[in-house]
Amino acid sequence: MGLGICHTCDAIILFGGIRRDGYHYCSRRCAEEAEMGRAVEMVPEEVAEQEAMRVRGDPCPDCGRADAGVDLRASHRCTGYLLHTSVVTERRICCRFCGARHALRAIAHSLLFGWWGFPLGPILTPIVVLRDLFVMIPRVRRSPSPALVEAVRLDIAAGVLAQGQLPPVPLLPSGD
């Protein structure tokens, strides 16, 4: 009996694991991640782009503003914990004004709490603040960003899985 290797994360499986669809996974999370990956592959790129264009034309989910350029926007927070520094990226679908508001809050958080982690806090804090300032630069974009298209594609795939429509299992590679 040999060691098992997780099909999703390549972790070595000493005992147990989950066998699903002819593959071996180290945990339920890895099995669900593989299932989600197959569901995402089922969603055609054109369908995701059309849905992203529809989302882009919708009012902002945060403030309700119409025609404000809804897209997937990111803000980054740096927090120092004495001997550890954490950088967290938060992504949300919102208009450029709400995106700038979230970026300003993240900048304030980073400036207050980012410096306190040594040795990386003083190095990462200015980088994170600059990233948030860069995110706030207005860009005129007629089409949705690739990040929004991918987020919409993931959302469609999650909806398919939630309805109980399981994606087809790919053929097993030879040798398994």
Same domain, 13 and 80: no
Same domain, 15 and 66: no
- Residue 1 pLDDT more than 70? no
Specify the higher pLDDT residue, 89 or 162.
89
**What does the pLDDT read at residue 2?**
54
Q: Over the stretch 4-51, which tens digit does the pLDDT of each residue have?
A: 889 889 888 888 888 887 888 999 999 888 888 888 988 999 999 999
Domains: count for the chain? 2
- The residue range of the domain holding 18 is 4-37
Same domain, 19 and 62: no
Q: Is residue 68 part of a domain?
A: yes
Q: Is residue 125 part of a domain?
A: yes
Model pTM above 0.85: no
Same domain, 69 and 103: yes
Same domain, 63 and 131: yes
Q: Is residue 153 part of a domain?
A: no
Q: Is residue 130 part of a domain?
A: yes
**What does the pLDDT read at residue 142?**
81
**What does the pLDDT read at residue 175?**
47
Q: In terms of C-beta distances under 8 Å and separation of at least 24 residues, what long-range contacts does 38-46 make, across chains too?
A: 38/167, 38/168, 38/169, 38/170, 39/157, 39/158, 39/160, 39/161, 39/167, 40/153, 40/154, 40/157, 41/167, 42/157, 42/160, 42/167, 42/168, 43/153, 43/156, 43/157, 43/160, 45/149, 45/153
- Residue 89 pLDDT more than 80? yes
**Mean predicted lDDT score pLDDT of the chain:** 88
Same domain, 74 and 131: yes
Same domain, 137 and 63: yes
- Residue 172 pLDDT more than 50? no
**What does the pLDDT read at residue 99?**
94
**What does the pLDDT read at residue 163?**
85
Q: Is residue 161 part of a domain?
A: no
**What does the pLDDT read at residue 166?**
63
Does residue 78 contact residue 87 with C-beta atoms inside 8 Å?
A: yes
Same domain, 132 and 84: yes
Q: Over the stretch 42-87, which tens digit does the pLDDT of each residue have?
A: 899 999 999 999 999 999 999 999 887 899 999 999 999 999 999 9
Same domain, 8 and 77: no
